[in-house]
Structure 1
Amino acid sequence: MQHFFKWFSAVLVIMIIVGGGWFWLQHQPGSKNLSQRKPIVQKTVRVVGVGDSLTQGIGYADDHKGYLPLLKKQLKQTYYVKPQTANFGIGGERSDQIDHRVQTSQKLRRSLRRADVIAVTAGGNDLLQALEKNIMVNNDAQMTNHLAPLKTAYQQKLTQLIADVREVNPHAQIYLFGIYNPVYVYFTNATMITTAVNQWNQVNREVAEAQSQTHFVNIDSVLSFGQYQSASAQAKLKAENRQNDQAFVDPQKVEKLLQTQDSKEKNAYLSTEDHFHPNKKGYNVMASKLNRQIQSNVNWHKR
């Protein structure tokens, strides 16, 4: 009987210790009863990119994937989500041509209809066409006057594009990218190009701000200035470009630059293939800028 009592006492002590430890563990900050824990369900989010070559991905290893795979990776690292992406970018298209596809392509419309996020790149080809029409202009005042009606027409086309995207999908968040100056690091003082890019970017910003659930994604300073972001780097760049120290650039010089394929691209964010489109580093900037904007406008469960 005495042996049984010792055995029973030992078992009772062990039960008290184990039960007390379990009770203590469950009441620690952040602890939760395992039976009450629910697995985090990963939400499927659909991201559709529509636009020109910046959506298509031209310039990055000729794979035509651009920023979307990079964004997909970033979203998976930021949120408990399963991103699905669709790329509807076609190089060389103006805003009205992109809009035509939005209105007529059933495949695109189906994809837009199911999207949670819609990203749009537009404006670069509209601006190139406007500049090509005014290559003989040789002062700021004339350029401003000549661009004014073209800028107004562009704003109307871009507004219609975003409105047509919104008509297809009334609920998705829309993100409209700005544009950049791909030859800035070579023609730092070419105010004609810089002024035009600034004006077109202002249009994109105003159109985005005028629409519900539509946001502007600014990529100008990083992709235009490249690694020359500080004031001292800018001053050094201007000193290096004194041979091109004019407000108005010979279009033939620009065309020659864009047709040169070598490994000496001066802007670390642009492709050596055409000195115009982003490389992987540049497309990663686009993905990161878009990811930050998305974070400001969604309530997905963060990691």
Structure 2
Amino acid sequence: MRRLIKWLAVVVVLAIIGGGGYWYLHQQQTATTEKDKTPTTKQVKLVAIGDSLTQGIGYANDHKGYLPDLKNDLQKAYYVKLSSKNYGIGGLRSDQIDKRVRNNAKERASLKKADVITLTVGGNDLLQSLEKSIFVSSNKQLKSKLSPVKKTYQKKVERLIKDVRAVNPNATIYMFGIYNPVYVYFTNATMITNAVNQWNVVNKAVAKESDNVHFISISKQLTYGQYQTAAEQTKLKQQVSKSNSKYVSASSVESLLQNQTSKEKNHYLSSEDHFHPNRKGYRYMAKTLASVMGKYESWQSK
């Protein structure tokens, strides 16, 4: 009897040891399997080129723009680690951005290694065109003067994309549209908004006809700011005394921007210059860009 009890005790001990070993091995295998399921974080190189919207002019004088928010958004949503280079320079037109793509060795070297390229272009082209007496007194005159300038601009943007592709044939390119920064002050000046819309048509068309190029629309939010509904815009028209005419002179716009001392009425634009995005505006650009990227990139979501 004692011998039987002894053998039973041995069997129980062995069973416990064996069970414990099995549990340990099972836990190790489970942990290894779970670890294997975790996607490897992908290193993504982004190069930003363009004008002041890329440089980041508009808030805090840090000239970082939308890139820091974009990095945070992407790294929170995907298994990616984003590194970026910013080659934006305020005031550049499309042909000047293109010239840097063709001739700036440092920029070309970065573009060549990029997985993603972002581009802001068009605002300075349009501004220069409007300053050259495109402020007119009828829609017919506006269309007549805009048409040849628009065609020239489209050829410049097509050349720009072609030259970027010559440096990097494979990177995904995301091209921003532009917006009307003075809408809240010249609400009835539909000619300005119409001109902005025409330039956005060009950017969108060039993106559509190009391989792996995507258009990012920011006009509605940055143009109208917090005045997004028809009722809010109608009320704004009644409030803004300087927005009674459809057609305004370049000097009127310039004077307003230079002499504006009050807080910016558009909650998405800077009170410093009443022209570029503020912190909220750049945050919107980053969020919109990240959303579009999610549709075209093959990154693993978290």
The DSSP-based 3-state class of the residue aligned with 2:141 is helix
Q: Aligned partners of 1:293, 1:103: CA distance in 2, in Å?
A: 28
Structure 2 counterpart of 1:223? 222
Shift of 1:188: 1.1
Structure 1 counterpart of 2:212? 213
Of the candidates 6, 31, 54, which is equivalent to residue 4 of structure 1?
6
Number of residues paired by the alignment? 298
The DSSP-based 3-state class of the residue aligned with 2:127 is helix
Unaligned runs of 5+ in 1: 27-31
Shift of 1:280: 0.9
Which one-letter code corresponds to 2:43 in the other structure?
A: T
Shift of 1:5: 3.2
Structure 1 counterpart of 2:116? 117
Task: Give deviations 1:42-63, integer Å, cap 9, x for gaps.
Answer: 1110111000000000002111
Q: Aligned partners of 1:100, 1:248: CA distance in 2, in Å?
A: 34
Contact 2:257 2:273 in 1 (8 A): yes
Instruction: With the length of structure 2 as denominator, give the TM-score of the two structures.
Output: 0.92
Structure 2 counterpart of 1:56? 55
Contact 1:113 1:169 in 2 (8 A): yes
Q: Aligned partners of 1:274, 1:260: CA distance in 2, in Å?
A: 10
Structure 2 counterpart of 1:265? 264
Structure 1 counterpart of 2:196? 197
Shift of 1:293: 1.2
The DSSP-based 3-state class of the residue aligned with 1:182 is coil
Which one-letter code corresponds to 1:33 in the other structure?
A: T
Task: Give deviations 1:193-228, integer Å, cap 9, x for gaps.
Answer: 011000000000000101000000000000001011
Contact 2:134 2:146 in 1 (8 A): no
Structure 1 counterpart of 2:96? 97
Structure 2 counterpart of 1:167? 166
Shift of 1:19: 7.6
Shift of 1:153: 0.4
My pick for the range that moved more, 65-74 or 46-55, is: 65-74
Shift of 1:40: 3.2
Higher share in helix: 2
The DSSP-based 3-state class of the residue aligned with 2:161 is helix
Which one-letter code corresponds to 1:195 in the other structure?
A: N
Rate the CA distance shift 1:233–1:12 in 2: closer, same or farther, 3 A. farther
Structure 2 counterpart of 1:296? 295
1:68 aligned onto 2:70:
no
Shift of 1:277: 0.2
My pick for the range that moved more, 226-235 or 275-284, is: 226-235
Shift of 1:237: 1.6
Say what the alpha-carbon RMSD is for the aligned residues: 2.1
Rate the CA distance shift 1:14–1:125 in 2: closer, same or farther, 3 A. same
The DSSP-based 3-state class of the residue aligned with 1:171 is coil
Q: Aligned partners of 2:128, 2:269: CA distance in 1, in Å?
A: 21
Which one-letter code corresponds to 2:75 in the other structure?
A: K
Rate the CA distance shift 1:136–1:84 in 2: closer, same or farther, 3 A. closer
Contact 2:47 2:114 in 1 (8 A): yes
Of the candidates 14, 31, 41, which is equivalent to residue 34 of structure 1?
31
Which one-letter code corresponds to 1:126 in the other structure?
A: D
Contact 2:57 2:65 in 1 (8 A): yes
Q: Aligned partners of 1:181, 1:21: CA distance in 2, in Å?
A: 66
Task: Give deviations 1:221-242, integer Å, cap 9, x for gaps.
Answer: 0000101112222222222225
Task: Give deviations 1:93-112, integer Å, cap 9, x for gaps.
Answer: 10000000000001010000
1:87 aligned onto 2:81:
no
Shift of 1:187: 1.1
Shift of 1:33: 2.5
Q: What is the percent sequence identity of the aligned residues?
A: 52
Shift of 1:136: 5.3
Contact 1:181 1:223 in 2 (8 A): yes
Task: Give deviations 1:58-88, integer Å, cap 9, x for gaps.
Answer: 0021111111111111111111111000000
Q: Aligned partners of 1:136, 1:114: CA distance in 2, in Å?
A: 43
My pick for the range that moved more, 247-256 or 73-82, is: 247-256
My pick for the range that moved more, 39-48 or 207-216, is: 39-48
The DSSP-based 3-state class of the residue aligned with 1:87 is strand
Rate the CA distance shift 1:128–1:34 in 2: closer, same or farther, 3 A. same
The DSSP-based 3-state class of the residue aligned with 1:70 is helix
Structure 2 counterpart of 1:284? 283
Structure 1 counterpart of 2:181? 182
Contact 1:261 1:273 in 2 (8 A): no
Structure 2 counterpart of 1:29? none
